[in-house]
Chain A
């Protein structure tokens, strides 16, 4: 248990659906991240939030929409996804930007 909790663990959605991934941390960290992990590709940093403000959007398509209502919660809203968006989505947090990251167990997303 790392202190970072992601829900749901598994999600299957159609290309016209709208769904949200949730991440929660109670470590007192100030920075939160979304990563995408696809087969045979390095971990891709998607978004960075620091003190609830988005500080990085790594050229992520607009069909992925992050939300950070407070330092403990991070959401990733999904709509009109493509099959190639199927991947493991990992949330992480760190005390500050650039410090060691603590990861959640991930959400395995399948787009059909």
Chain B
């Protein structure tokens, strides 16, 4: 079964610093990959997705992610974070042909002034 690993449960950074949130998935077969963000007391909002094509995907709010098939990774990056980026970030994967969207445990990003 497909699984998603987000190694860092919490990531504290200072405002305007770069950040990378790591995500690894278990299967190397055809997959669709997603990053979602959840602000306090809210649902999940899609940040970006990889379905096919270019391995560098750009999303909303200045975030981007790179699909690395050989390392089965889909790390999320932002070159300069803002206080408003403080939230929980979830990586998710759908294996081609499956209906299941499998989520990682999430990474809490805290941006400090």
Contacts and interface: CB of A to CB of B under 8 A. Distances in A.
B52 interface: no
**Number of contact residues on A: which range applies?**
20 to 34
Interface string B95-106: 001111101111
A48 B106 CA distance: 22
A42 B102 CA distance: 9
Residue in A31, A50, A101 whose Cβ sees the most chain B Cβ within 10 Å: A101
Contacts, number: 54
Interface string B21-46: 00000000000101010000111111
B43 A2 contact: yes
Nearest to B95: A98
Given A42-B104, A98-B94, A104 B43 contact: yes
Interface string A17-45: 00000000000000101000000011101
A55 interface: yes
B101 A45 contact: yes
Contacts of B97: 98
29 contacts: A4-B43, A31-B99, A41-B105, A42-B105, A45-B101, A48-B99, A50-B99, A55-B99, A56-B100, A90-B44, A94-B101, A97-B99, A98-B94, A98-B98, A98-B101, A99-B94, A100-B34, A100-B46, A100-B49, A101-B46, A101-B101, A103-B36, A103-B43, A103-B44, A103-B45, A104-B43, A106-B41, A106-B43, A108-B41
Interface of B: 32, 34, 36, 41-46, 49, 90, 94, 97-101, 103-106
